[in-house]
Amino acid sequence: MPIQLKVSDFADLACSGSYVLLDMRSESEYNFSSIPGSLNIPILNDAHRHEVGLTYKQKGKKEAIRKGFELAGPLFSSILDKADKLCGQKPVLLYCWRGGLRSSISSWLLETAGFNVSLLEGGYKAFRNFALSQFSVKRKILVLGGRTGSGKTELLKRMKNQGQFVIDLENIANHRGSAFGALGKGPQPSNEYFENMLAMELLRIPVNEPVWIENESRAIGKLKLPDDLYRQIRFAPLVELNIDIVRRKQNIMKEYGIFPVEELLTCTEKLAKRLGGLRLQNALSALAENDLDAWLDIVLDYYDATYAFGSTQRESTGIFSFSPEIDDTESQIVEKLIKIASRMDSQFQNV
């Protein structure tokens, strides 16, 4: 018999990387949201689920189960072929929506064929509730702040490479968090899947360890941060990067100057209400004339003012202002940030 796992144990094993996660729900259920890292082998596809649902309404549970076997049975061989390709010799963590009939049939089939299978008790629904509960777990969050162009995202990547615990919100959201944040990016995930990915990242980090997070607004593109986590970020100690304007402009040009003017125009127009008529017209005219410096001055003036206002709204337990030397490399800035973190333990506050 397959092992039935509590959701916390299932999540720990899923984070280990030693198992293959199989989602046996339909393709549309999986595409909307899933447990991060899982692969989809539907035991019943969307059309089959609809047919089983109609049978249940018209003839009851017993006939619906028969219909499910009738539809799934011919797929058993192809399901095993897919499992062979996806799983190889690795043990399997398997789930469906509620840990019911689809999980039972799938686990029986795979175990009969020789796979080592463990089931998620309560299915995806249990995982979803567990994921949401992670955002209220009190953590030692350190927020890295700084005006647009300060290079925060790159610094966080470097800190992670040096062993610091980092949650890269923009990477998980697939968006840089501004009117220009979608440039060069694919579609964003559903908010539910974003939350699931965020929860799994948090699960990989010991609760008593400091974790760096970039200073973000609640909205990142079309996505929103969970309320409980956002509240912790708002109260967390803030390390405020003060990067000189020349370096900031260089960073912005390096990141956004590569995109066609037409795309920059479209993004700039999203700021119409915030910039106002005259500033918007000046920014668009500068782009039309390929004067990126003039365009950047206008846009940066807006973002700097917005950032300054946002800083006054923080409820942080402490703000540490950090001004690197003009000739500091990114590696040197990272070293200094790590030293700052080691001195800020007394600033952490459970909220």
Q: Are residues 207 and 327 in the same domain?
A: yes
What pLDDT, on the 0 to 100 scale, is given for residue 350? 43
CATH number, domain with residue 300: 3.40.50
Residues 146, 126 contacting (CB under 8 angstroms)? no
Q: Are residues 124 and 160 in the same domain?
A: no
Give the span between the Cα atoms of 292 and 256, in whole angstroms.
10
Residues 39, 22 contacting (CB under 8 angstroms)? yes
72 C-beta neighbours (distance < 10 Å), count: 22
What pLDDT, on the 0 to 100 scale, is given for residue 280? 94
204 lies in which domain range? 137-347
What pLDDT, on the 0 to 100 scale, is given for residue 258? 93
State both tokens at 277: 């008529």
Q: Are residues 270 and 151 in the same domain?
A: yes
| DSSP character at residue 279 | H
- Our count of domains for the chain comes to 2
What pLDDT, on the 0 to 100 scale, is given for residue 74? 86
Residue ranges, the chain, pLDDT below 70: 315-317, 345-351
Let me know if 267 is a catalytic residue.
Answer: no
The residue count of the chain comes to 351
What pLDDT, on the 0 to 100 scale, is given for residue 351? 41
Q: Are residues 68 and 86 in the same domain?
A: yes
What pLDDT, on the 0 to 100 scale, is given for residue 261? 94
State both tokens at 99: 């840990």
What pLDDT, on the 0 to 100 scale, is given for residue 342? 82
Of the residues 15, 87, 96, 267, only one is catalytic, namely 96
Phi, psi of 350 (to 5 degrees): -75, 130
Q: Are residues 82 and 183 in the same domain?
A: no
Q: Are residues 198 and 260 in the same domain?
A: yes
pLDDT tens across 41-65, in order?
999 999 998 898 889 889 988 888 8
Among candidate residues 86, 111, 132, the one where a domain is terminated: 132
Q: Are residues 74 and 162 in the same domain?
A: no
Q: Are residues 314 and 258 in the same domain?
A: yes
What pLDDT, on the 0 to 100 scale, is given for residue 340? 87
Q: Are residues 161 and 79 in the same domain?
A: no
Buried b (16+ CB within 10 A) or exposed e, 260-296: eeeebeebbeebeeebeeebbeebbebbeeeebeebb
CATH number, domain with residue 90: 3.40.250.10
What pLDDT, on the 0 to 100 scale, is given for residue 64? 86
Q: Are residues 164 and 311 in the same domain?
A: yes
What pLDDT, on the 0 to 100 scale, is given for residue 347? 57
Record the pTM.
Answer: 0.91
